[in-house]
Amino acid sequence: MAVGHKWVYQANRGPDVIFEVVGKENVEGVECYKVMRTIGDESTPFFVSLSTEGLAIHKVGADLYDPPFLEFAFPFMPESRERVWVGSIGGRTYGIRSRNLGLETLPWPSGSASAVHVSEHMTTVLRKEGEWGTDQKVAPLGQTSFWIVRNLGVVKLSGKLHDPHNATQNEFEWTLKSFLKNR
């Protein structure tokens, strides 16, 4: 990942979805890439770090992830292994369960590509008004699948979710249309 990288995804409905690395910014003492996600006229900044551990989300829009969410762990966990994150996003408690579903072969313009398939399930903790810590209920928010190709990144996303970052689509499938390196 570098400033200037741009991924353009064809959406199953609606306009193309664009993720573009536009710079670097410090978030809570960590240097992060600022990646703008644009869907039509709406743009949302994602602040992510990349290390030998993997890709971590630190902030999306004004919502801080505490602790940062390691979305993709490197090297990828063995097939069928699960990883669970519990933390807050913008001050609200969430849980995300990630699982490596293994390698899959995807059709590709030049033939085919081997992609790691990662599935995520997101939940939130609901509490009755004024009763912090009592009457808790875990509510599912949705499921997202990612297909990742080495040295290219995410080549396909699909899912059903309530996006806490204001994406307009509740069910979606985005397929990589183009990847542009530094300009």
CATH number of the CATH domain containing 137: 2.40.360
Cβ burial 64-75 (10 Å sphere, 16+ → b, else e):
bbeebbbbbbee
Q: Which amino acid belongs to residue 158?
A: S
Spell out, as residue ranges, where the chain has pLDDT lower than 50: 128-134, 168-169
In a domain, 29, yes or no: yes
Q: Into how many domains does the chain fold? A: 1
**pLDDT reported for residue 22:** 97
- The whole domain housing 116 covers 6-180
In a domain, 93, yes or no: yes
**pLDDT reported for residue 92:** 85
**pLDDT reported for residue 161:** 66
In a domain, 85, yes or no: yes
In a domain, 130, yes or no: yes
In a domain, 128, yes or no: yes
In a domain, 88, yes or no: yes
pLDDT in tens, 35-85: 999 999 999 999 999 998 889 999 999 999 999 999 988 777 666 678 889
**pLDDT reported for residue 132:** 47
Residue 79 DSSP label: T
**pLDDT reported for residue 163:** 54
**pLDDT reported for residue 83:** 86
Integer Cα distance of 76 and 95 in angstroms: 20
Integer Cα distance of 162 and 165 in angstroms: 9
**pLDDT reported for residue 183:** 62
**pLDDT reported for residue 48:** 98
In a domain, 1, yes or no: no
In a domain, 61, yes or no: yes
**pLDDT reported for residue 41:** 95
